[in-house]
Amino acid sequence: MALRAQPVKTPAEEAIAASFPAFAARQARWGGAEVAKAREDGIARFRANGLPNRRIEEWHYTDLRSMLREAAAPFEAFSDDLARKAAAGAAPIALEGAARLLFVNGRYVADKPAAGLEVVDLTTAPSLPPVAAQALARDTAYAGNGAVALNRAFTNGGAIVHIAAGAPHVIHLDFREIGSEAFSTFPHVIVDVAEQAQVLIVESHRGSDDIAYQTNALIELKLAAQARVSYVRLNEAGAKSISLATLGLDIADHATFNLFSLNTGAALSRHQIFLHSDGEQSSIDLAGVTLARGKQHADTTLVVEHKAPRCKSREFYRYIVDESATGVFQGKIVVAPDAQKTDGAMKSQTILLSDEAAMNNKPELEIFADDVLCGHGATCGSLDDDQLFYAYSRGLPPAQAQALLLEAFAGEALERVADEGLREQLRDKVCAWLAQRVIQ
């Protein structure tokens, strides 16, 4: 139906717009001209478009305007006490010898600094060093995205990180949300990886199950030539939370980027990946497992843009959706006219475990070069009866048989994590989720 409708501002939209001037004034003491400009741009976009809604194609399946009923105020009351309390919490994952960058309610807290790693806290300096200012002023194709615009308008913390070639091997971006009442956070982290640097970055999100907090993180990663980055993302956000996250990627020639994302947390989660491959012969591998149950809504939206010739990309996502949860996968491979010889393949596969569960799948190809090899596949179904029967006939009870098949299903995506220790920890998390399953 193409009926003409005037967008009516929802209470949440009005509250967000109304809170901006005072918030920006209070935060004006840091970030300098660049942050101030980003705030103005962001709020202008928000005022023009409102919250992302189903009339905007890329938000068709995740209608924030109707899902975000109340906008929580951006978190501002930082204290050393709060930081200490957050740091004392259990680690989401064990990483040996890792440099840890802790973000508490959006604000960067120096934790375990390491040599070869330069970190500028966005909120300490009244004006930023030139390198950081330049990084902030970068023009990105996704600046118009609704979640990104909100993050830039309300940035309440963040850091600019430079990883040199000889930097530590493992870096942990540890995001934690604690508090006793609802709040929202808008961290902005920029990571520059130098030429030939090799690094494993782990991004984790964890927060209190008791409060309906809202996070909207923006992480921008720039890989210089021949850099090699493995990236593992862990979403274990609180059960009542809304977790929006955007990963912007800019990849130079001969660089390698491998991502694995395990998504189990938040009532409403959306992970956006905007990848821009600018140099020749880069290699990209994105994979993920999403496990959703209850009334969870889990969205992964990715756009892989091939701008240069002879690049390779693989996207491999698996979803297990139970009870009345909803899964969303939107993947788009764009091949520019000059990006000849691009080799792209995307696959998303889903198992629905209940008749109340829903899955929306939208794999897209947008191709302007003729000498390419691109394809995508998407499947959606339930557990295979023959496989179940085989397991039953070997004496496995239904719950165990199903768990076994589901573990194997998720396992194929997990295989893509190169670091064995990390992979096993992720597998344990998948098994723990499966063990909590209630089978009628």
Does 388 sit near another protein (CB under 8 A)? Answer: no
Q: What is the rounded distance in angstroms from the CA atom of residue 265 to the CA atom of residue 378?
A: 24
Of 200, 199, 174, 209, residue with least CA distance to 93? 174
CB of 225 to another protein, least distance (A): 26
Does 127 sit near another protein (CB under 8 A)? Answer: no
Say how far residue 37 (Cα) sits from the centre of its chain: 25
Does 350 sit near another protein (CB under 8 A)? Answer: yes
Residues 6+ apart with CB under 8 A from 310: 280, 281, 340, 341, 342
Residue 190 or 434 with smaller CB distance to another protein = 434
Does 198 sit near another protein (CB under 8 A)? Answer: no
Residue 288, amino acid: G
Residue 104 or 358 with smaller CB distance to another protein = 358
Question: 421-430: long-range contacts (C-beta < 8 A, 24 or more apart)?
Answer: 421/94, 421/96, 422/93, 422/95, 422/200, 422/202, 422/232, 425/93, 425/94, 426/232, 426/234, 426/260, 426/262, 429/234, 429/262, 429/264, 430/262, 430/289, 430/291
Residues 71, 51: contact at Cβ < 8 Å? no
Residues 6+ apart with CB under 8 A from 183: 72, 73, 74, 75, 105, 211, 213, 214
Does 387 sit near another protein (CB under 8 A)? Answer: no
- Number of neighbouring beta carbons within 10 Å of residue 239: 16
Residue 9 or 362 with smaller CB distance to another protein = 362
Does 361 sit near another protein (CB under 8 A)? Answer: yes
Which residue of 36, 143, 225, 380 would you call a contact of another protein, by CB under 8 A?
Answer: 380
- Number of neighbouring beta carbons within 10 Å of residue 165: 15
Which residue of 129, 166, 337, 397 would you call a contact of another protein, by CB under 8 A?
Answer: 337
Residue 287 or 321 with smaller CB distance to another protein = 321
Does 355 sit near another protein (CB under 8 A)? Answer: yes
Q: What is the rounded distance in angstroms from the CA atom of residue 359 to the CA atom of residue 344?
A: 23
Residues 258, 418: contact at Cβ < 8 Å? yes
Which residue of 369, 388, 404, 431 would you call a contact of another protein, by CB under 8 A?
Answer: 369
Which residue of 8, 25, 57, 126 would you call a contact of another protein, by CB under 8 A?
Answer: 57
CB of 336 to another protein, least distance (A): 10
Residue 354 or 387 with smaller CB distance to another protein = 354
CB of 337 to another protein, least distance (A): 6
CB of 60 to another protein, least distance (A): 8
Q: What is the rounded distance in angstroms from the CA atom of residue 355 to the CA atom of residue 122?
A: 47
Which residue of 136, 358, 413, 426 would you call a contact of another protein, by CB under 8 A?
Answer: 358
Window of 123-131, 250-258, 275-283, 376-384 that interacts with another protein by CB under 8 A? 376-384
Say how far residue 407 (Cα) sits from the centre of its chain: 23
Which residue of 19, 49, 196, 354 would you call a contact of another protein, by CB under 8 A?
Answer: 354
Residue 408, amino acid: A
CB of 4 to another protein, least distance (A): 5
**Interstrand relation of 187-193 and 297-306 (parallel, antiparallel or unpaired):** unpaired
Residue 113 or 377 with smaller CB distance to another protein = 377
Residue 253 or 323 with smaller CB distance to another protein = 323
Number of residues that bind another protein (CB under 8 A): 39
| Interacting residue ranges for another protein, rule: CB under 8 A | 1-4, 57, 337, 340, 350, 352-382
